[in-house]
Structure 1
Amino acid sequence: MILTCLFIFLQMIHIINYFVTSTEVKDFVYLLTRILYLITTICILWLINYDRLKNIFSSGLLFIYWLLVFLATIPDLIDYSVKIYQQIQSVSWWIKFITACLQFCVVLCLFIANCFAEKYNAPEATLHERPLVPEFYVSFPSRILYSWVTPLILRGYRKPLTEKDCWELPMSERTVSVVDQVRNYMKGWKSNTQYEKISMKKIQILDSNSLEDEHRNLLNNIVSNYVFIVHDLTQKKVYLKPTVDVNESSSKNRKTSMFWYALFCAYKEKIFIGALIKLVHDILQFSGPMILKLLLNYFTDLNKPKWLGVFYASLLSIVVFCQIILLRAYFHCQFLVGLQFRSAITGLIYRKSLKLSNASKQETTTGEIVNLMAIDASRFAEVTQHIHVLWSGPLQLLIALILLYREMKFSIIPGVTLLFIVILTNLYLHRIQKKLTVCTKIIDIFLIDFY
């Protein structure tokens, strides 16, 4: 906080020096840069206070901001160092040079400070409790490089891991919370829960000694049919209202009853974050060849300055590094969503299996329930890893065609035609393979039943 305020003070000195200086030629870009620094740093102050209120131990936005500011101050410092002998008698230039040096030191300290996280005061764990997973309180570089997993890997290398060696998940990531979050988006869950609570309160008014058996039947009807209960205190009777016909519900209610709709609505924020990371990765993926083209053109012209070639080479390395980081972050995000999908489906199937009646248990075998929890639930987890290819694939194809057209014009038509023919052929063969797989499974089941 103190270093950030000092950085703001240095920017104010730069702005005052700009207006006080007596030189006739004034650089407007210099003034605009300092104003932008001042505005963004004030926003950073607000962000620091917000992170502390939300118990955020390390902010990735702050880390990236001070990294970019640190990289932006290096050319200024080099420029002032080169002109030190030319402007040695200018007082205003010396003020700029001293403030630039101080600014570089302050920004370097701020960048180093944001490489570490705030101190985490772990609560005292009992014998049956495990420490919280470090991902939520380690620094941002540790999160993007996954160095917080290294102690667990080394521990597993030395000895076999047990449940006590693993970390404890936060309450929001546990299966109970995941299942409840999905159930809240399913059709009529909140309203049915309210009706059930009202019915339970009315049942408590009844005489428990004389109507014990009747209570048990009523509770079974409430759980299975979600009916309304009306109690008459004078006659000691219970009347049941007819249940609501599900077929008369509107199309909107039918849409919300879809399981996939509830599943994706529960984690739409994480899915959108994964889509954003994938979009940035795809853009950087096509930026690499364009930068490489500029670098090759640089070697053909010997009159270009050397710093331009160094800039292209550095930019190409940074782009490749960012691609790797973003790709790992994308798969990490999608794997987490897939695990939450699998946990939600498994938990819902397990809860439903506990409520099955005797007639339903005769129609549904234990093997079918196990297959739903083990195989079908894992398929949802696999879908999340490549779900964004549905829009990312056509986008990459479109960008590639545009770039090829800029370089080769209409010469790309034969290659593009062959590409589309191969795509259609693969789709046709995939359908045939799918039909053959289904037929093979049916034959296997028939042979098992026959023998």
Structure 2
Amino acid sequence: MTRSHSPGMASHMYFSWTTPLIVRAYRHGLKEEDVSSTSDWRCPLLPDTTSLLALFDSLEGDLRSRLWLMMRWRMIKAAVLMFLYSAIQLVLPLLLRGAVVAVDDDDPDGWWYAVAIGGLVFTGSLCKEHQLWLNYQVGAELRALFAALVYRRAMSMRQYELQPSTTNLITVDAQKFNELLPMINWLWAAPLSITAAAVILVSIEGREPSRAVLTTHLRAQGVACNVSFA
């Protein structure tokens, strides 16, 4: 792999797909020598299917345990990054509130709030995008691995035992992992963020505003039910 095909630092910080070769193609266009510098061009960001199968076969246990051993550290890292992003999203309104109070009180140290907000927004963006990229990697590898396992099994079966429609359906279903994994952390992050935000709101404003919001919501639901049955 040449230097032109490897991702730079900025690419690793975000989605890791913008290589110097792509940048040069966008700005100046490519020549034949740019793309023929290596005879075996592969994406350096994801392992090939042969490596995935070799790693899968080298592990012991059932299917779930093998998959967990292959993907566990990236999944844990993505979950930690998602937790940091959720925590930052909860802290930002509090810092913004502090900045508004500092402006009203002519506090000379209020600019620290602006610095903190900018730093947290940048850090939160990195955490969110990097966990998305890690989960996308895992999803893409699972898709490739499942497709390879299905076809390897199909190749080992006799022709009269093989059901092409079933094989094709399983291969199509493997794509669902690639679509699910980037969003999987929201299953726990969204309820956690909502609960934490409600607790913070009650601790700051008291119970009366929360009761008013809940009453308004229930009243709106009642009106909607009455309209639907009318």
Q: TM-score, normalised by structure 2?
A: 0.78
Distance of aligned partners of 1:173 and 1:408 in 2 relative to their CA distance in 1, 3 Å threshold: same
Cα offset for 1:148? 4.9
Picking from 179, 185, 199, the partner of 1:388 is 185
CA deviations on 1:345-377 (whole Å, 9 max, x unpaired) are 11111111100123312xx1x23312322x201
Tell me the residue number matched to 1:316: 117
Letter in 1 for 2:19: V
Give distance in 2, aligned partners of 1:298 and 1:134.
Answer: 46
Query: Any conservation in 1 of the 2:75–2:135 contact (CA below 8 Å)?
Result: yes
Corresponding residue to 1:284 among 85, 88, 91: 88
1:376 maps to what in 2?
A: 173
Corresponding residue of 2:22: 152
Q: Which residue of 2 aligns with 1:93?
A: none
TM-fit CA distance, 1:403: 1.2
Q: Which amino acid aligns with 2:52?
A: V
Q: CA deviation at 1:311?
A: 1.2
Change beyond 3 A, Cα 1:174–1:288 = same
Q: 1:372 to 1:142 in 2, by over 3 A?
A: closer
Q: Indicate which of 25, 50, 65 corresponds to 1:176.
A: 50
Q: Is the 8 A contact 1:345 1:377 kept in 2?
A: yes
- State the distance in 2 between where 1:171 and 1:313 align: 36
Deviations 1:47-101 (A, max 9, x none): xxxxxxxxxxxxxxxxxxxxxxxxxxxxxxxxxxxxxxxxxxxxxxxxxxxxxxx
Equivalent-residue separation in structure 2 for 1:296 and 1:288 (angstroms): 12
Secondary structure of 1:379 counterpart: helix
Deviation sequence 1:215-264 (CA, Å, 0-9, x none): xxxxxxxxxxxxxxxxxxxxxxxxxxxxxxxxxxxxxxxxxx3x344323
The residue identity in structure 1 corresponding to 2:69 is C
Q: Is the 8 A contact 1:131 1:167 kept in 2?
A: no
Identity %: 17
Q: CA deviation at 1:414?
A: 5.1
Which TM-score applies when normalising by structure 1? 0.42
Distance 1:160-1:356 versus aligned 2 partners, 3 A rule: farther
What is the alpha-carbon distance in structure 2 between the residues aligned to residue 261 and residue 382 of structure 1? 22
Q: Amino acid of the residue matched to residue 281 of structure 1?
A: Y
Q: Decide whether the 8 Å contact of 2:6 with 2:20 is kept in 1.
A: no
SS of residue in 2 equivalent to 1:168: coil
Report if the CA contact (8 A) 2:78-2:135 is conserved. yes
Question: Residues of 2 paired with 1:131 and 1:163: CA distance?
Answer: 10
| 1:368 partner amino acid | T
- Cα RMSD after superposing both structures: 3.2
Alignment partner of 1:330 out of 122, 127, 131: 131
The 3 A distance-change label for structure 1 pair 338 and 142 is closer
Question: 1:397: which partner in 2?
Answer: 194
Of the three residues 12, 24, 47, the one matched with 1:143 is: 12
Relative to structure 1, the CA distance from residue 342 to residue 163 in structure 2 (aligned partners, 3 Å threshold; closer, same or farther) is farther
Counterpart residue identity of residue 340, structure 1: E
Higher relative contact order (CA 8 A, sep 6+): 2
The residue that corresponds to 2:225 in the other structure is none
> Which amino acid in structure 1 is aligned with residue 202 of structure 2?
Y
Greater shift in the superposed pair: 271-280 or 407-416: 407-416
Separation of aligned partners in 2, 1:169 and 1:356: 32
Q: How far apart are 1:282 and its partner, in Å? A: 0.8
Out of 350, 353, 356, the residue aligned to residue 154 of structure 2 is 353
User: What number of residue pairs does the alignment pair up?
Assistant: 212
Give the structure with higher Rg (CA): 1
Q: Write the mapping of 1:48-447 to structure 2, written as runs, cut at 5 A.
A: 130-131=1-2, 133-135=5-7, 138-139=8-9, 141=10, 143-144=12-13, 146=16, 148-155=18-25, 158=29, 167-169=41-43, 173-185=47-59, 187=61, 257=62, 259-302=63-106, 304=107, 306=108, 308-361=109-162, 364=163, 366-373=164-171, 375-411=172-208, 412-413=210-211, 415-416=213-214, 418=217
